[in-house]
């Protein structure tokens, strides 16, 4: 079964949240669902949809508590019922200057509260054009996972930065090759087999192809996860063989 995880980013209001909750009716066997929502909606989403989907956050503080104005700790996320949290999404890395070292601490903080980290990695267009994709992914993984506790669950999301919100995607062959590389690297460096999702302009129209086969374990979906029907459609098509 594929992991179909949504990332709402900084979108939706309480009216839209209520509508989403009302219309989210996935058949049980379609996918393992997760939705990373803005902090204020975690509790309500967890209460209303917690049996149908894992509800998570999009960011967490690396610190445990104290004088960190504006930050939210892993303990607070656990308090609100978050079961997973994105770490190092490219928007956080690019706009807010998050480093691999911060990601490493965030992974540790989340796991200490039994919240599953979804570590996001990916190369920029320039890095891709300069054929640096593998070395970028390698350092994101090497540092980001260096304090991970592999006895607890952790997932990787491969999201080429140039594919996020642009409508562009790598070819299916490229996605499979890069995700195979990520899995091999994690296996070699950490002796682990982790699930790896693909993210970047996944829609109902391309999900079936992008998610086919056994290499890609699921998708992290931004824009298309805001529309409940499209989100469910992606899960349905990911289930079908091509
Ligand atoms: P997108 O975003 O599906 O809108 O491209 C993916 C993401 O940012 O996780």
* Residue of minimum CA distance from atom 8 in ligand 1: 222
* Residue of minimum CA distance from atom 9 in ligand 1: 222
Tell me how far CA of residue 108 lies from CA of 56, 114, 118, 146, 177, in angstroms: 16, 10, 12, 9, 29
- pLDDT digit string, tens, across residues 26-40: 988 889 999 999 999
How many angstroms separate the CA atoms of 165 and 169, rounded? Answer: 10
Q: Which domains does the chain have, with CATH numbers?
A: 2-239 (3.20.20.70)
**pLDDT at 240 > cutoff 80:** no
- pLDDT digit string, tens, across residues 172-196: 999 999 999 999 999 999 999 999 9
Which pair of tokens denotes residue 229?
A: 């029907």
Give the residue numbers marked as catalytic: 89, 159
Q: Which ligand 1 atom is nearest residue 202's CA?
A: 3
Measured in Å, residue 67 CA sits from the centre of ligand 1 at 32
What pLDDT shows up at residue 242? 60
User: Can you say how many angstroms the Cα of residue 195 is from the centroid of all Cα atoms in its chain?
Assistant: 11
Query: Measuring from each residue's beta carbon to the nearest atom of ligand 1, which residues come in under 6 Å?
Result: 7, 159, 164-165, 199-202, 220-224
Measured in Å, residue 199 CA sits from the centre of ligand 1 at 6
Q: Which ligand 1 atom is nearest residue 163's CA?
A: 5
């Amino acid at each position: 079964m594929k992991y179909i995880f949504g990332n709402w980013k900084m979108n939706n209001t309480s009216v839209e949240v209520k509508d989403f909750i009302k219309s989210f009716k996935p058949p049980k066997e379609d996918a393992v669902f997760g939705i990373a929502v803005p902090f204020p909606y975690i509790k309500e989403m967890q209460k209303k949809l917690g049996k149908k989907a894992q509800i998570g956050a999009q960011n967490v503080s690396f610190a445990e508590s104290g004088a960190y104005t504006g930050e939210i700790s892993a303990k607070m996320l656990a308090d609100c019922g978050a079961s997973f949290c994105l770490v190092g999404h490219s928007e956080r890395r690019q706009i807010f200057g998050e480093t691999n070292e911060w990601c490493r601490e965030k992974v540790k903080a989340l796991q200490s509260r039994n919240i599953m980290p979804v570590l996001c990695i990916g190369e920029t267009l320039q890095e891709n054009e300069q054929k640096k994709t593998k070395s970028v992914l390698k350092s994101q993984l090497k540092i980001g996972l260096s304090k991970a506790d592999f006895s607890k669950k952790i997932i990787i999301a491969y999201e080429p930065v140039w594919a996020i919100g642009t409508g562009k995607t790598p070819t299916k062959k490229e996605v499979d090759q890069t995700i195979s590389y990520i899995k091999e690297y994690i296996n070699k460096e950490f002796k682990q087999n982790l699930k790896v999702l693909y993210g970047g302009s996944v829609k109902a129209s391309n999900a079936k192809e992008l998610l086919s086969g056994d290499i890609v374990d699921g998708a992290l979906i931004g824009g298309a996860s805001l529309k409940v029907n499209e989100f469910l459609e992606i899960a349905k098509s990911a289930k079908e063989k091509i």
